[in-house]
Amino acid sequence: MPTPFRTLSTAEELEGALARSAAGPIVIFKHSPTCGISAQAFESISEWLAATAPEADFFVLPVRTSRALSTALAQKFGIRHESPQALVIDRGEVVWHGSHFRATAGSIAAALDQLAGATEALESASRSG
């Protein structure tokens, strides 16, 4: 099955992904294929993405081959590196993150739903104010 994720392997690709968050949320999944928990989470999220169309761009950062990039991301946002780890980023800011058993399709979906609701409320308030 083809992956719905775009792979991040260079600093330029990471900066491009973060720049995309200005237009809408992105999700970065830090993945280690040698970790059973990470492999299970990656498969679950991939299946969810194949069945739905969330309003976000999804990226995978393979931590075994891109350790420096993973470290740079952790330092940028002040969030300790873990794997698996999912970060929901909107307008250049991490609005939700979860690691290990919290990095699930359900948790990401809930974070995106909450973000969409907050954005909708903000836009509604600005139209009526």
* 3-class SS string, 51-90: HCCCCCEEEEEECCCCHHHHHHHHHHHCCCCCCCEEEEEE
What is the helix (H) or strand (E) element at residue 109, kind and residue range?
helix 105-128
Query: Can you give the pLDDT at residue 126?
Result: 62
Query: Can you give the pLDDT at residue 1?
Result: 41
pLDDT in tens, the chain (129 residues): 445 799 999 999 999 999 999 999 999 999 998 999 999 999 999 999 989 888 899 999 999 999 999 999 999 999 998 899 999 999 999 999 999 999 999 999 999 999 888 766 556 566 665
Contact in structure between 8 and 28 (CB atoms under 8 Å): yes
Distance between first and last Cα of the chain:
48
Distance (Å, whole) CA 3 – CA 13: 17
CA dihedral of residues 20, 91, 28, 24 (deg, nearest 10): -60
